[in-house]
A and B are shown apart, each in its own frame.
Chain A
């Protein structure tokens, strides 16, 4: 990673710590608690200050550092596949209750396989369905755990 990128990251963390510290000042207290040696906001305040101080040290450290000869080039990463997988994970969470475990898991696995380059039809359809069905039966029938069967199933 380039030094400029590292400094940017340290600055982002500085903002995060500052926001955390500001939020810590809004933590409510019971009447009279402000006179006690330890309050619910004591630890967060210490952490915010420590974080801010460390970020400043990091920025100064990076400022003095020479540019490394080889750096990680972010553009060379496969951002598209990783972003799509993250989106699929979020969609999996949304789909779990309405579609039910089996349908949501089958779709999640099929989408994951597809994003990573799998194109064989039986692996995109049969394997996810069989796997999720087997997992569902194992959890619900053998281990006695509840897994959503889906709103559509109830209807």
Chain B
């Protein structure tokens, strides 16, 4: 492990890569602050820029963007009660009341320190967990991978909010369907191309990610009306107060950080759970175990209430890299976009990544730590200025976002057909969102579709079309049983919820 850490440090600590982490953190913070644009959009917007980079540098930039976007989301949650991403909703419960009390600077500082601590503890846990899991997963075969992918896709939907499990599953199937467009990899037969040469190579992952997230989010902002939440941040950011945290507050934060980091990391490792569930879980846990007097402060600017979700969401972000780096299976929409980026660099994540590209594997882990340090020392003092940059009027900002999304895809293919296709997908994505069909499972399904078909083909060929692999291989059997639990829990929950309603 120490060799790996040294390799990672040597890769990250070169000036170019340090510069990239810093740029990524600042760009991510800026994008994450924009209402509606989260880490997925931020990373998708960065992919075209990183095409010329070596894989390690590309991933380092993206890790910085990821952390920056999460931190940016927290900033808009605290300053204007407009969480940029779902993972920072819980931050606004106590962060915004603190800002209203004239302690926005303190709230931002607590959020930054909590994020830094959560990310750091989780990065250490990742260093230990990832190589262990990678060595175990070397024994995995096609049926195991197939079941693992089905589990990942199902878990993402199962962790959706109550009543949204079926729409999330439908979105996953749509994503898988889109992945079948183009030339079939096994027989070389064209599928769903309708004779169009532009579709022979299939749909580009970047195109779909940009259309489903960046474009559709920008258009949703237009659709939802003419209010300008960004402009509010200008007045909020002009007087943020002192950034100083008192000693008593630090003492209060320490145990919360320790508990929430562990919760966040393990929730993040679970496929589909991610930062949102982690932050709510940590917030709920802290409120439950807080003394009665402290409990009353929750929702009114509690230091514990702000520290817990901020620590947990950053720890979960780090945890979500475990399945991506060790199994090659993303556990969240953001890591799915990162997987697409890695594949486009010619790097195949999975257990072999640890052996074939150790510099990428360790550089990503180390860059997370460096990203956290940079966020703390660079972003925090810059927050008032970055928030002022957001005072760009909406009528100028949205066309710019549309332009960067369109041109980002066009510069890869130089094919105007991609612009038409993106517009079409963005319109479809808007309608799906309006009818409560989430986009993250769709992109996850699309990314995993090709790998899933590949593993399904090998499994079917190996077992001559029989489903006996489900019980013949112990790993597949174990995953199948977990899958069964994941599927049955929401069904049980729905039935239990329906019974009292019927009474």
Contacts and interface: CB of A to CB of B under 8 A. Distances in A.
Nearest to B397: A116
B403 interface: yes
B184 to A, nearest CB: 4
Given A47-B173, A50-B173, A58-B170, A109 B403 contact: yes
B378 to A, nearest CB: 25
B241 interface: no
Given A6-B435, A38-B460, A79 B420 contact: no
Q: Categorize the interface residue count of chain A.
A: 35 or more
Interface residues of B, number: 61
Nearest to A7: B435
A105 B222 contact: no
A118 B400 CA distance: 13
A7 B158 CA distance: 21
Interface stretch (B30-38, B282-290, B307-315, B423-431): B423-431
Contacts of B191: 24, 27, 40-41, 44
Contact of B416 (A94, A116, A117): A94
Contact of A92 (B189, B219, B406, B431): B406
Nearest to A49: B173
Given A51-B170, A113-B399, A116-B222, A90 B431 contact: no
B224 interface: yes
A16 to B, nearest CB: 8
Interface in A89-113: 89-90, 92-94, 96-97, 105, 108-109, 112-113
A118 B219 contact: no
Contact of B189 (A40, A97, A118): A40
Interface stretch (B9-17, B57-65, B367-375, B388-396): B388-396
Contacts, number: 159
Interface in A20-65: 20, 23-24, 27-30, 33, 36-44, 47-48, 50-51, 54-55, 57-58, 61, 64-65
Given A43-B456, A89-B406, A1 B187 contact: no
Contact of A116 (B174, B184, B398): B398
B177 A47 contact: yes
B184 A89 contact: no
B118 to A, nearest CB: 34
Contact of A61 (B166, B192, B464): B166
B80 to A, nearest CB: 20
A153 interface: no
A7 B415 CA distance: 37
B399 A139 contact: no
Contacts of B456: 38, 42-43
A55 B436 contact: no
B457 interface: yes
A108 B403 contact: yes
B196 interface: no
A33 B398 contact: no
Contact of A30 (B187, B399, B457): B187
Contacts of A24: 191
Given A28-B189, A30-B187, A145-B411, A47 B461 contact: no
A13 B398 CA distance: 30
B181 to A, nearest CB: 10
Interface of B: 52, 163, 166-167, 169-170, 173-174, 176-177, 180, 184, 186-187, 189, 191-192, 219, 222-226, 393-396, 398-400, 402-403, 406-407, 410-411, 414, 416-417, 419-420, 422-423, 426-427, 430-431, 434-437, 452-453, 456-457, 460-461, 463-465, 498
12 contacts: A17-B177, A50-B173, A51-B170, A54-B169, A58-B167, A61-B163, A77-B224, A93-B419, A94-B416, A96-B410, A105-B407, A109-B403
Nearest 5 pairs between A and B by C-beta? A112-B399, A37-B465, A93-B419, A116-B395, A9-B435
Interface of A: 1, 5-6, 9, 13, 17, 20, 23-24, 27-30, 33, 36-44, 47-48, 50-51, 54-55, 57-58, 61, 64-65, 72, 74, 76-79, 81-82, 85-86, 89-90, 92-94, 96-97, 105, 108-109, 112-113, 116-118, 123, 127, 135, 139, 143, 145-146
Given A42-B456, A76-B225, A90-B419, 19 more contacts: A17-B177, A20-B192, A36-B461, A37-B463, A37-B464, A40-B186, A40-B189, A42-B457, A43-B180, A44-B191, A47-B176, A47-B180, A54-B166, A54-B169, A78-B222, A82-B219, A96-B419, A112-B398, A116-B222
